[in-house]
Structure 1
Amino acid sequence: MAFGALGGDMVRNIAVLLCAFSLVSKAHAEPAVAPIPVKVVVVSMFELGKPTGDAPGEYQFWVERQKLDHIYPFPLGEYDLRMNDQGLLGICTGGGTSNATSSIMALGLDPRFDLSKAYWVIAGIAGGDPQDVSLGTAAWARHVVDGDLLYEIDAREIPATWPYGLLPLGAKQPNGKSIGWTVDTIHFPLNAKLAEWAYDLTKEHPVADSPGIAAFRKLYTGYPNAIRPPFVTLGDNLSASTYWHGDKLNQWANDWMHLQAGKDSNFMMADMEDSGTLTALRRLARTHRIDLDRVLVLRTASNYSMPPKGKTAAWSTTAPYPEEGRPALEAAYQVGNRVVQKLINGWPAYRDKLPAQP
């Protein structure tokens, strides 16, 4: 009996070895598929429903208008990846810094794609500072700053001498110097020359106005830039998963941008993902899977980050976006696509040399 059982084990072991040998032989017989070279990755952050055929979020215009018809299942992300024959790859990360970080890291490590020469155009809507922009305005960023990594105390306990209850990590007071510890994922300086190239390419682009945003911006009397028709500019992003709002926090956002990115920075747009996206891209760049100098960030104002005079922060926080943010969604696509098409059509030049290089 014992001999018979041993004989059965031997037979099973031989079968397993033969199966393994067959798989190895097959792997050697069939060469690995080369990764797909990508020219441009368009990064959107949210979609309202499906990527096609319903009310649009940030992803849908790219999918439908650029015919991103090649679908690649992407279980590690929120939506499937989509690509067209021109080398444009689209991703929708999901809202918030954690979704953005994990989705971009998963894409960066995906063996199906060669991203080593790809440009990244992060294009989405944001809350705009009415001191700088109007609804529908598009801003190319030279700096992205994280707005979550800090100390915070309850507003009811803020000392009378403090302008707000937000402090740098390791600091003793607002805008104070960090002592003892901090993290390296607060400030993300982008390729300023590339951002300026994108701005020069799009600054005369006629960003469409509309009756809804025109009527809403009239509330912002006393803010000259807020009542202008939409335009294209250079301006920096504060990224925080917390949806903050109000006059005091808008002051903090401007101070925080200067503290972290220097006096040449200018807070204009508040979003919920870019620091997560840049964290993942920075890590991927360490292994040369992507080129961090090829990253562009474009945000368009769907709402304001503080109320107009005579309105409360609570009213402004919960007020509906004029026209449901559609003008800003259009601007993100229209302005962003002008740069995307320039890169794709000029690929023989831009593959190995950045547009901003002499």
Structure 2
Amino acid sequence: MYRITLSAYLALLCLSFPLVSQAQESPIKVKVFIAAMFEIGANAGDKAGEFQFWYERYFSNSQAIAVKGALNPVYCNKNGICGSVLGMGKVGSAASMQAIVLNAQFDMSQSYFIISGVGGTPPAKGTIGDVNWATWVLDYDLGHRWKPEEGLQGKPTFMPRKGYESIRRYQLNPALVKWAMALSQGQSLKDSPAAQTYRQRYPQAAARRLPKVTSGTHMTGDTFFHGPGLSQEAQYIAQSYQADDYMITEMEAAAIAQVLNRTVGVQRMVSLRGAVNFDQGNPNETTLEHLDPAPGQTAGGFAETVENIVIVGGALVDHIVKHWDLWQQNIPALTQR
């Protein structure tokens, strides 16, 4: 009879039944990563936040993948589409994005990134329910500010601070933005009676029209700035940075762009925002009244806007994945549509 030591027996078992560890598994090759900032409750079945319609469209049959350092798990489907809720604000969203990009469970060397969420818009440029593709993302906070009465009357109260030139503005890839705009044409956007009624409080033609897809600069700030004065300041910053007109106020895109720029690059990043409020009140209300509306006086249209975001963004996601042979290495020429 042959004798076998315990160590030899265990070695034979390992040969017969190889141990599977996370480190030995091949990383998921991510074609498109969708980043939302918040969800109101569950990912499905209740009032939708920024992620629910994405989840229902792409991830309802996906397993949650825990990532150390990220606020929420990542979901990936069999087609190489992944997504997660990063958290609100520059610090929270950037921390989650960096944890996910650097995690060994994912190969994001060829990924496209859709930074998706809601925001505000100036009534002279947009309206409730609009969906806007960023041409630039700018940091609203990096600079010097002072109270208007402590400066020159009628002059800007902001000055860029030297030393932040490389992180305060990012121009997103024009070729990718053109693709996004082209694929957005013909998409039917949702609207609501409440939003239609609310728009009529504003005299501007852009504020009163029906929702559509637009493009322009997204202004990233941890502060929810409101009022015509700070809206004008945002436009002044956009002009100072030689960017396109300010169209959307939001809280995360410039910070996420900095993370991607340091890791995989920003050439495959887009920022997509739906307008759920105006950045200022109408002529018959003060800024404080606009910030704290009475019951029943809110803008309306939130549910329709978060759905519009996915209707518009999903067209780009689906096209990239369907034609991955063209998109994997480089952004194809728009004539290859």
Task: Give the TM-score, by structure 1 length.
Answer: 0.83
Q: Deviations over 1:29-53 (max 9, x none)?
A: 8782211101100111111123233
| CA–CA separation in structure 1 for the residues paired with 2:255 and 2:170 | 10
* Structure 2 match to 1:299: 273
User: 1:208: how far off?
Assistant: 1.4
User: 1:204: how far off?
Assistant: 2.4
SS in structure 2 at match of 1:301: strand
Structure 1 segments (4+ residues) deviating >4 Å: 28-31
Instruction: Identify which of 62, 69, 73 aligns with 1:80.
Output: 73
| CA–CA separation in structure 1 for the residues paired with 2:78 and 2:156 | 51
| CA–CA separation in structure 2 for the residues paired with 1:251 and 1:307 | 14
Task: Give the TM-score, by structure 2 length.
Answer: 0.88
* Structure 2 match to 1:348: 325
Q: Is the 1:117–1:291 Cα contact (8 Å) retained in structure 2? A: no
| CA–CA separation in structure 1 for the residues paired with 2:92 and 2:194 | 31
Q: Which has the larger radius of gyration?
A: 1
Q: Deviations over 1:59-82 (max 9, x none)?
A: 111112223412101241121111
User: 1:183: how far off?
Assistant: 4.6
SS in structure 2 at match of 1:292: coil
1:279 equivalent to 2:276? Answer no
Equivalent positions of 1:1-358 (< 5 A) are 32-68=24-60, 69-155=62-148, 157-170=149-162, 181-221=163-203, 223-262=204-243, 265-284=244-263, 290-319=264-293, 321-323=298-300, 325-356=302-333
Indicate how the Cα distance of structure 1 residues 50 and 78 shifts in structure 2: closer, same or farther if over 3 A, else same: farther
Structure 1 regions of 5+ residues with no counterpart? 1-17, 171-180, 285-289
SS in structure 2 at match of 1:104: helix
SS in structure 2 at match of 1:116: coil
Indicate how the Cα distance of structure 1 residues 352 and 321 shifts in structure 2: closer, same or farther if over 3 A, else same: farther
| Deviation larger for 70-79 or 116-125 | 70-79
Structure 2 regions of 5+ residues with no counterpart? 1-6
| CA–CA separation in structure 1 for the residues paired with 2:38 and 2:105 | 23
Indicate how the Cα distance of structure 1 residues 321 and 107 shifts in structure 2: closer, same or farther if over 3 A, else same: farther
Q: Deviations over 1:212-270 (max 9, x none)?
A: 1101110111x1111000001111100001111100000001110111134xx111000
| CA–CA separation in structure 2 for the residues paired with 1:61 and 1:208 | 13
Indicate how the Cα distance of structure 1 residues 204 and 160 shifts in structure 2: closer, same or farther if over 3 A, else same: same
* Structure 2 match to 1:3: none
User: 1:280: how far off?
Assistant: 0.6
Amino acid corresponding to residue 196 of structure 2 in structure 1:
A
| CA–CA separation in structure 2 for the residues paired with 1:60 and 1:129 | 26
Amino acid corresponding to residue 34 of structure 1 in structure 2:
S
Q: Is the 2:93–2:252 Cα contact (8 Å) retained in structure 1? A: yes
* Structure 2 match to 1:10: none
Indicate how the Cα distance of structure 1 residues 321 and 340 shifts in structure 2: closer, same or farther if over 3 A, else same: farther
SS in structure 2 at match of 1:139: strand
Indicate how the Cα distance of structure 1 residues 352 and 160 shifts in structure 2: closer, same or farther if over 3 A, else same: closer
| CA–CA separation in structure 2 for the residues paired with 1:318 and 1:79 | 30
Indicate how the Cα distance of structure 1 residues 146 and 321 shifts in structure 2: closer, same or farther if over 3 A, else same: farther
User: 1:162: how far off?
Assistant: 4.2
